[in-house]
Amino acid sequence: MTPKDFFIGLSQNKLLNDLAKKYGLQLGAKSVVAGTNLEELMASVKELNAQGISTTIDNLGEFVSDKKEAIEAKEQIIQVIEAIHENNANAHISVKATQLGLDIDYHFCLENVKEIVEKASKYNIFINFDMEDYSHLQPSFDLIDELSKDYDNIGTVIQAYFFESGENIEKYKDYRLRIVKGAYKEPENLAYQDKKEIDRNFIELIEYHLLHGKFTSIATHDHHIINHVKRFVDEHHISKDKFEFQMLYGFRKDLQLQLAKEGYQFCTYVPFGSDWYGYFMRRLAERPQNINLVAKQVFNK
Ligand code: FAD
């Protein structure tokens, strides 16, 4: 078993997830999760905004199987939208469809996300649909197709490890898109497994959307990719208002700030809330060196 398989396995463990919710931010999660309540969240957002960095806020939670929990998640997200508006924060929202009931019932989920998108559209706030594992890919695109009949404040994510990402980016090119490598464990018949192949496809998708798409969010901590994008946009005279770089809260903070100082639009993905466990374990799966974050937190008490 690889370290990636090990941590992805842990991320899906329900018992550990429940325990994590009960005991609050532990195991070093504090460095990468911006608190468990709205006050702590808004303090982090304001601090980033003051440094010229915009934010996308994730009210943590996923794979919900209980209607009550999904409705609570929707209400919390609506509170975050209100807080963004009241604080005049430079922020938008990232949501996960499984947090809002996609595994319970498609139409139940659609009603929940509609309420969120409707509320956000009144305040001109953008809603991004994060993409989860392959089993939720098509239903998530279906939600987006349905919502885009009435709203234009929505966008989504293209995951470069999927063979079908090229077709999907063509189909959704007129949306604001975040392009990522992909965070879940996917089988060989659906997704590239080799890092070089994922990186190659990632670059192809980014270049395609920068040239043909609407606004592009390039979400990566990989400086090789970032440097490639910087050269590419220079060579093709692509204006800085057509794209942004994104990274996760707490990762490569110096590089985040440096890119913002260089005049690139920069957006930090800010997760918050008590349901931090699955998110945190996926970060360990991506980069076992992130375990350093755990060590620092444990020993700096
Ligand atoms: P990696 O491939 O992990 O790393 C490449 C190289 O970059 C490393 O070898 C190292 O040299 C350098 N590097 C990486 N991290 C660090 C670090 N912390 N410190 C120093 N050097 C480092 N995935 C989804 O499936 N769905 C989503 O909706 C989604 N949304 C995301 C949103 C944001 C803002 C981000 C940043 C990621 C998101 N992801 C999402 C996760 C993404 O798919 C990848 O799993 C994750 O970003 C790891 O890949 P990477 O491109 O950052 O670089």
Distance 147 CA to ligand 1 centre (A): 28
| Farthest-apart Cα atoms in the chain, separation | 52
Q: Relative to the CA of 157, which ligand 1 atom is closest?
A: 28
Q: 84 in helix, strand or coil?
A: helix
Q: Which of 58, 103, 178, 275 is flagged as catalytic?
A: 178
Pick out the chain residues at pLDDT < 70.
1, 3-4, 6-29, 285-301
Distance 191 CA to ligand 1 centre (A): 17
Quote the pLDDT of residue 5: 72
Q: For residue range 27-55, list pLDDT tens digits in order.
A: 666 778 898 889 999 999 999 999 999 99
Q: Are 246 and 207 in contact (CB under 8 A)?
A: no
Could you tell which of 11, 130, 181 is best to mutate to test the pocket of ligand 1, judged by most ligand atoms within 8 Å of the CB? 181
Which token pair is 160?
Answer: 């470069």
Which residue's alpha carbon is nearest to atom 45 within ligand 1?
183
Distance 286 CA to ligand 1 centre (A): 7
Which residue's alpha carbon is nearest to atom 18 within ligand 1?
251
- SS (HEC) of 157-208: EEECCECCHHHHHHHCCCCEEEEECCCCCCCCCCECCCHHHHHHHHHHHHHH
Could you confirm whether 199 is annotated as catalytic? Answer: no
Q: 155 in helix, strand or coil?
A: strand
The CA dihedral of 113, 114, 115, 116, to the nearest 10 degrees, is 50
The phi and psi torsions of 247 (rounded to 5 degrees) equal -140, 170
Q: Is residue 107 classed exposed, middle or buried when 0-12, 13-18 and 19+ CB atoms within 10 A define those classes?
A: exposed
Mean pLDDT of the residues in the chain? 89
Quote the pLDDT of residue 15: 62
Element (H or E) spanning 42, and its range? helix 38-50
Q: For residue range 224-240, list pLDDT tens digits in order.
A: 999 999 999 999 999 99
Quote the pLDDT of residue 62: 73
The answer to ipTM > 0.90 is yes
Which residue's alpha carbon is nearest to atom 19 within ligand 1?
252
Q: Are 182 and 158 in contact (CB under 8 A)?
A: no
Could you confirm whether 130 is annotated as catalytic? Answer: yes
Distance 236 CA to ligand 1 centre (A): 25
Q: Are 124 and 112 in contact (CB under 8 A)?
A: no
Element (H or E) spanning 272, and its range? strand 266-272
* Residues having CB within 6 Å of any atom of ligand 1: 130-131, 157, 159, 180-184, 219-222, 246-248, 251-252, 269, 286-287
> How many whole angstroms separate alpha carbon 261 and alpha carbon 158?
27
Could you tell which of 221, 243, 282 is best to mutate to test the pocket of ligand 1, judged by most ligand atoms within 8 Å of the CB? 221
Q: Per-domain residue ranges for the chain?
A: 34-275
* Domain 34-275 in CATH 3.30.565.10: no
Q: Relative to the CA of 290, which ligand 1 atom is closest?
A: 18
Distance 223 CA to ligand 1 centre (A): 10
The CA dihedral of 37, 39, 40, 43, to the nearest 10 degrees, is 150
Q: H helices then E strands: how many in the chain?
A: 12, 8
Distance 199 CA to ligand 1 centre (A): 11
Q: Which of 130, 199, 275, 282 is flagged as catalytic?
A: 130
Q: Are 43 and 91 in contact (CB under 8 A)?
A: no
Q: At residue 102, what is the residue type?
A: L
Could you tell which of 195, 252, 287, 291 is best to mutate to test the pocket of ligand 1, judged by most ligand atoms within 8 Å of the CB? 287
> How many whole angstroms separate alpha carbon 270 and alpha carbon 247?
9
- Dihedral over Cα of 88, 89, 94, 100: its sign: negative
